[in-house]
Structure 1
């Protein structure tokens, strides 16, 4: 059980980078806006840096959201289920998510390897390497896949409540 709690805590810790990326993105955009408005000198590569930080924000935050059940959920129908059916519904949902996200992670990883080998860069006034963004995207999806697998195995063995006992509850249920 400690392995599953460790996995969830690791996902939450990596997800914290998402918040840092948000702050960094605000600083980059603010600096760019002030430079444009008052000095007629925009921040070079502001758009490229902001896109990279957005990728960090979104893809590194997904596993942490999964670990804390912070994803938006509409539970109108599942709230009507008995505990046994809720358990089965969770197992089926996590299984489907594992297969779908796992396939996307696998394809994203293959694409990241290819982009890295090619040294993929953007075209513009200042060339910007894109391959690190592809690696971050693939890493985030792989971590999400591992977190879903951890949730699936942990839920199958102990049930959701006991598995999440070591983490804060940020559930977004309606």
Structure 2
């Protein structure tokens, strides 16, 4: 599993860098739009559509893998911290499998939507047309990789569960 861990970590880092680049591009675009509006009475065309359809989904979905790998997702540990190690491992198995299954369904639906958007050449109309079909693949890509992370975490928790003795 170390090879898959290395691969997932590198893909997670790559997606974080891409999300960071999207953040910088969004900031530049919004600043240019505001400056154009204030100083020249000419905003950048379709800024709202581009931010909503491109930059925001990239910022939401692309970091999912890295967040899962680092364990930085939201967790409420009030009861979990008081459980014995065996019960914690059982909870980790259940949570990892449940979230992986959930992500599997989400990715399946998102993949079908992405393929339909690609087939139609999906775009939105603003001041200029904004092509949106490529961004539809971000969720199935990032979600699928995140699903693999949670499956691996569930497997490791299962190994802990089997390896922990009654004490």
Partner of 2:111: 109
User: Between Structure 1 and Structure 2, how many residues are aligned?
Assistant: 159
Task: Say whether 1:3 aligns with 2:9.
Answer: no
Name the structure, 1 or 2, with higher relative contact order (CA <8 Å, separation 6+).
1
User: Which residue does the alignment assign to 2:82?
Assistant: 80
Q: Which residue of 1 aligns with 2:24?
A: 23
**Partners of 2:8 and 2:145 within 8 A in 1:** no
Q: Is the 8 A contact 1:4 1:154 kept in 2?
A: no
Does residue 62 (structure 1) correspond to residue 103 (structure 2)? The answer is no
Q: Which structure 1 segments of 5+ residues have no match? A: 160-174
- RMSD of the alignment, in Å? 1.7
Q: Contact 1:15–1:65 (CA<8 Å) still a contact in 2?
A: no
Q: Secondary structure, in 3 states, of the residue corresponding to 1:125?
A: coil
Residue pair 1:95, 1:152 contacting (<8 A) in 2 also: yes
Inter-partner Cα distance in structure 2 for 1:3 and 1:150: 12
Where do 4+ consecutive residues of structure 1 move more than 4 Å?
A: none
Task: Supply the distance in 1 between the matched residues of 2:26 and 2:145 (Cα, whole angstroms).
Answer: 23
Partner in structure 1 of residue 126 of structure 2: 124
Could you tell me the TM-score, scaled by structure 2's length?
Answer: 0.86
